[in-house]
Amino acid sequence: MGIFTVLCSVVLLGAVPAWSDTVIAEKHSLYYIYTALSKPVDRPGIYQFTAMGLLDDREIDYYNNVEQRKIPKQHWMKEKMQEDYWEKGTQSRKSKEQWFNVNVDILMKRMGHNESDVHVLQWRHGCEIEKQGDELKFSKGIDEYSYDGGNFLSFDDKESQWVAPVAAALPTKRKWDNVPILNQYTKGYLEKECVDWLNKFREFGDEELRKGSPPKVYVFAKRSAKTKLKLTCLATGFYPKDVTLLIRKYRTSLPENEIESTGVRPNHDGTFQLRKSVVIPVDEKAEYDCYVSHTTLKEPVITTWDGICQDCKGSLVIGIVIGASVVGLFVAAVSLYLYKTKKCVCSKQNETNGAANGVNQNLLPGQNYSNGQPQKAANGVSLH
């Protein structure tokens, strides 16, 4: 068993009568993902503990339990952040690694699970901002935990309290809510500190992040049954990930319940792709096209199907690499193995500068926040 760490993508869909109605709001995000397995998995590229930072869905730093070193994943992060930042980040993640190891065991006992299977604990932590007029303002903050592919505990930013969707999480909710200052720290980080660091990191990577990458659009068809064709629209190579892709018939969008979609997937180079298909009669003579809008485009791309059904096994490869991972070949390897063996969890996290003075006093809700990373609270919290 295991876990498949993925980035949940939001695709803006719907009928589009005019280009002015398809302008996509400028959004940015900063998230951190921590994933701990209850025991090692003997598979290449899969680690018992990993941590990564994601700025606008691009990996900016990484850590695993074997190398035990927080490292930059963007050249501008390496250039802009001083060595002290990476040293403190390394110590922080070592401390969190200890906390996760202990708390995976806590949850296994609470759930009555044995040690023969692999169990997974994850933490998703970060914030999103959205452009309002000329200002980028806080949109939402997320701080939540998942166990074995299911939601375990999440922070309600508006109410400043924890939400327990399962009975097993109630003891933890009660414990954390009984220390109000911890929840105040969490709320403060999500709404202020996280946003400040998001803007700071974006300023560092301004040129590379803001120029974006426009989508390339392809449309093709292949036989799916004796009397049917599968018509496919593919948009690939775009960044950021928010995109609108519509399959249209006589310039009218087809209903979503007729459409098969892969969802937005990452490419190996940090860009994204989205593929949508519809089944049509083999002798269909209607005019079909693919309509794609994206923040990098001054006007939408409309690519019309030529009416030809091709043998797609060779001619439609067109150099497109099916998304390996937003965070590189590591996640690709992890995803392939663990997705086949357990549920999928969307989970991200925030990094930490905690002191290493006790495993059960680690970096959960209620940290003090400094230098963009939460610091361990003096009284600490665990999942007990």
Q: If you write DSSP's letter for every residue of 270-325 in order, what string do you get?
A: S-EEEEEEEEEETT--S-EEEEEE-TT-SS-EEEE--S----HHHHT-TTPPP---
Q: Which CATH class is domain 211-315?
A: mainly beta
Same fold, 4-8+26-209+329-375 and 211-315: no
Best CA proximity match to 275, nearest among 225, 307, 312: 312
pLDDT of residue 381: 62
Spell out the residues 6+ positions from residue 53 whose beta carbon is closer than 8 angstroms to its own: 30, 31, 32, 59, 60, 61, 62, 351
pLDDT of residue 16: 34
pTM (2 decimals)? 0.63
pLDDT of residue 136: 82
**Cα–Cα distance for residue pair 88/85, rounded to 1 Å:** 5
Residue 237, φ and ψ in degrees, nearest 5: 80, 15
pLDDT of residue 99: 94
pLDDT of residue 4: 37
- Domain boundaries of the chain, sorted by first residue: 4-8+26-209+329-375, 211-315
Mapping DSSP to helix (H, G, I), strand (E, B) and coil, where does residue 91 land?
helix
**Cα–Cα distance for residue pair 150/157, rounded to 1 Å:** 20
Both structure tokens of 321: 């690499």
Mean pLDDT by 10 residues, the chain (384 residues): 33 32 70 95 92 92 96 91 94 95 92 90 94 84 94 94 95 94 94 94 78 90 87 92 93 93 87 94 90 93 90 38 35 38 36 30 34 40 65
Range 269-300 burial, b when 16+ CB lie within 10 A, else e: ebbbbbbbbbebeeebeeebbbbbbbbebeeb
pLDDT of residue 332: 36
Best CA proximity match to 8, nearest among 244, 241, 339: 241
Question: Both ends of the chain: CA-CA distance in Å?
Answer: 24
pLDDT of residue 384: 60
150 close to 166: Cβ distance less than 8 angstroms = yes
Both structure tokens of 211: 């120029």
pLDDT of residue 171: 93
Domain range 4-8+26-209+329-375, CATH architecture: 2-Layer Sandwich (3.30)
The single residue listed with the structure tokens 């932590």 is 125
